[in-house]
Structure 1
Amino acid sequence: MTQHRYPDGDRAAVYRVIRERRDMRHFRRGAIDPAVLRRLLDAAHWAPSVGYMQPWRFIRITDPALRRAIHAQVRAECEATAEACGSRADEVRRLKLEGILECGELLVAALADGRENYVLGRRTLPEMDLCSVACAIQNLWLAARAEGLGMGWVSLFEPDELSRLLNLPEGARPVAVLCLGHVDTFYPEPMLETVGWDTRRAMDETVFENVWGQPLDLPTP
């Protein structure tokens, strides 16, 4: 046992929040305590980033008209996505894919401009800037679940249109609309699994040893 190991209760809480995090779409109206929101954003800001570039920028949307405009963009993309899904179009239309008008707080996560100046860790993998933003979003997501708040990541929008709406500088790019708020209950499993869109893959299908496809040599708990 390593001397740096957390106490059993603390470790259990970490694994629990990872398991119980959900991509929420159903929210109960009501404001979020500003002190809690500050803690969540602070958690996001503690995320790791490749080359320590810290490329995340979060925009808090407090203007009701702007929230409605974002919602309109998302709804338009929901319909375009349904059309693109062909035979599953009606399934997509029946899904609740966002909670923009109901959630207590609406955030937009974006990639900062000037990312070309950061080369360390990105020379052959420039997309690591996006991975770094995703880490910040995951930090916020897990912290929200620990606070008893739901969060939903919405990626159904046209980036250039949202950039213009939010006056992003040239080179910046929105990557997520984040719905954050109180919920009546958390989904017992991912919503898309409940509705039969897809199922969770077994770990053996996604983790290999030494080369692609070779089974992992670890005992099953």
Structure 2
Amino acid sequence: MVPFDEIFRRQLRDLFVWRRDVRRFRTDPLPSDAMERLIEVACLSPSVGLSQPWRFIIVEDQARRSAVIDDFKTCNADALHSFSSERAALYATLKLAGLEEAPGHLAVFADKASDLGYGLGSATMPEMIEYSVAAAICCMWLAARAEGIGLGWVSILNPERIHEILEVPESWKFIGYLCVGYPQGEFDRPELERANWEYRRTSKEFTVRR
């Protein structure tokens, strides 16, 4: 067993604290192998039945990127209209994606038709396939932060439109679109908390004993 001492555990907790959902990126290019290295770390994540259902698309084509940005703008406008009064005014001030500035775009899917893992563990809970991919993204997120690279998960998108733009198989379920790049600043508090949209609760508020 590899020993992890108290110093490492404190540093690991600091990594969790300083991992942020980044929306404000510098335009500096990433190292040429950065995306591949982060994907490699993501693939170390556990998966139900060792199914490894993650599928990654590095989006480099400018026309496709522009189409994703247009879809975000459409979905974001729709989201704004779902709020009213003061909450709508606050929503309009939020920066919710770094699609136009981030040098790296990465789309992540779950391949629900793959026969890897032979269905172990997912017959009773098929959603474990998607959960496995989400866990892989979290591993990537932490690995990126450890390198000083920021990652932003864009969820204000139309999954069907993303399928069309990226021309992926129908069996692939869209999980997330990630902006990857160097952040403009470093923060230990979420941007939405700093913008007074919501605040982080303590773990006690989400814990129940039976």
Same fold (TM over 0.5): yes
Q: Could you tell me which residue of structure 2 aligns to residue 9 of structure 1?
A: 7
> 2:167: which partner in 1?
167
SS of the equivalent of 2:33 reads: helix
**Does the alignment pair 1:153 with 2:134?**
no
Per-residue deviation, residues 182-205 of structure 1 (Å, max 9, x unmatched): 123122310111111111111111
**2:103 maps to amino acid:** G
2:110 maps to 111
Pick 1 or 2: higher relative contact order, CA cutoff 8 A, min separation 6.
2
Report deviation, 1:120. 1.8
User: Does the 8 A contact of 2:56 with 2:109 survive in 1?
Assistant: yes
Letter in 2 for 1:180: V
What is the correspondence of 1:136-215 to structure 2 with a 5 Å cutoff? Answer: 136-209=136-209, 211=210
Question: Secondary structure at the residue paired with 1:152?
Answer: strand
CA distance in 2, matches of 1:34, 1:48: 27
> How far did 1:171 drift?
1.6
Moved more, 55-64 or 3-12: 3-12
1:51 matched to 2:49? The reply is yes
- 1:79–1:93 CA contact under 8 A, matched in 2: no
Q: CA RMSD in A?
A: 1.7
TM-score of the aligned structures, taking structure 2 as reference length = 0.92
Q: Bigger CA drift: 115-124 or 60-69?
A: 115-124
Q: Which whole-Å deviations, capped at 9, do the CAs of 1:105-124 have from their partners, x for residues lacking one?
A: 11001111405885322222
1:93 aligns with 2:92: yes
In the superposition, the TM-score normalised over structure 1's length comes to: 0.88
**Partners of 2:160 and 2:51 in 1: how far apart?**
23
- After TM superposition, give the deviation of residue 43 of structure 1 in Å: 0.7
1:60 paired with 2:46, answer no
Q: Is 2:40 the partner of 1:42?
A: yes
Q: Which amino acid aligns with 1:200?
A: R
- The gaps in structure 1 that reach 5 residues or longer are 212-221
Tell me, yes or no, if the aligned pair for 2:25 and 2:181 is still in contact at 8 Å: yes
